[in-house]
Amino acid sequence: MLTILLDGIASGMLLFVLACGLSVTMGLMNFVNLAHGAFGMAGGYVLVVLLQRWGWPFLACLPAAFLATALLGLLLERTLYARLYRREHLDQVLFSIGLVFMAGATADWLMGAQQQIIQLPAWLSGRVDLGIGELGRYRIFLILVCAGIVAGLQLGLLRTRFGAQLRAAVDDATVARGLGIPVPRLFAITFALGSGLAGLGGALGVEVLGLDPTFPLKYLVYMLIVVAVGGANTILGPALAALLLGVVDVAGKYWLPQLGAFIIYTAMVALLLLRPHGLLAKQA
């Protein structure tokens, strides 16, 4: 019971780290980026290669995964995404589906279709007795790291100049432009940051969520739920939504395995119907 709860919290926090970039892309830039999961997958593969093939220490692989995917995000934003901000949603959808297909095929070609398995360092493997029951060390590590990221993002958004500009732009991009906020640069940096976080989430998640070339599509629905429920204006909204989703998902898979992914798809549709404007809170 406690294990399920903890597993749920850990995967929920991972989902948040994966999805928070998407909530900004959709909320701030009004861009339907169905390829967001591809950055998560890229981060996962960076970790696998560095850790398993090159023998880097685990803790060095995580920032590397973040940086590599952030750079990839920056590159794609400047070359491709930025041209499509003003286009119709249909164009953005088709474009990003195209990226998903290309990313999946590339991953398959380079790394193969199989699930990736990593060897965690000894200090993160196994279980530890905390007096309330045996808990996986890696789960605890995940929860601590992700909680740190949530706190860092929240502080960054509230206390820094960049955060203030970002909040202004989310509220009203036209006004922000009028105030002299460099919106294109803001978009580029934010996109890179969001991609990097997705990459970090993917890297952290190899052990928990798994990693194979279907990753971007498999977790797209989860990320969309997080964004739809959480809204784009806060950090805590999506974070809570992700936690809830993680717990429900893990519990569902444990107690009702025969329903499979059906529960999560139903939840997505139901939530979209209850909150049709949650995806883009600032549509008007």
Contact residues toward another protein (CB under 8 A) are 26, 32, 80, 83-84, 87, 89-91, 93-95, 97-106, 108-109, 113, 213, 217, 221, 224, 228, 258-262, 265-266, 268-269, 272-273, 276-280, 283
Least distance (Å) between residue 138 CB and another protein: 29
Q: Please give the single-letter amino acid code of residue 131.
A: G
Least distance (Å) between residue 34 CB and another protein: 8
Task: Classify 212 as helix, strand or coil.
Answer: coil
Least distance (Å) between residue 28 CB and another protein: 14
Q: Which is nearer to another protein, 33 or 165 (CB)?
A: 33
Beta bridge partners of 134: 129
Least distance (Å) between residue 97 CB and another protein: 5
Q: 């989430």: which residue's tokens? A: 201
Least distance (Å) between residue 102 CB and another protein: 4
Least distance (Å) between residue 182 CB and another protein: 20
Beta bridge partners of 127: 136
Q: Which is nearer to another protein, 66 or 215 (CB)?
A: 215
Q: 């139903």: which residue's tokens? A: 266
**Number of neighbours of residue 276 by Cβ within 10 angstroms:** 10
Task: Classify 80 as helix, strand or coil.
Answer: coil
Q: Which is nearer to another protein, 12 or 213 (CB)?
A: 213
Least distance (Å) between residue 254 CB and another protein: 17
Query: b vs e for 211-225, b when ≥16 Cβ sit within 10 Å of the residue's Cβ?
Result: bbbbbbbebbebbbb
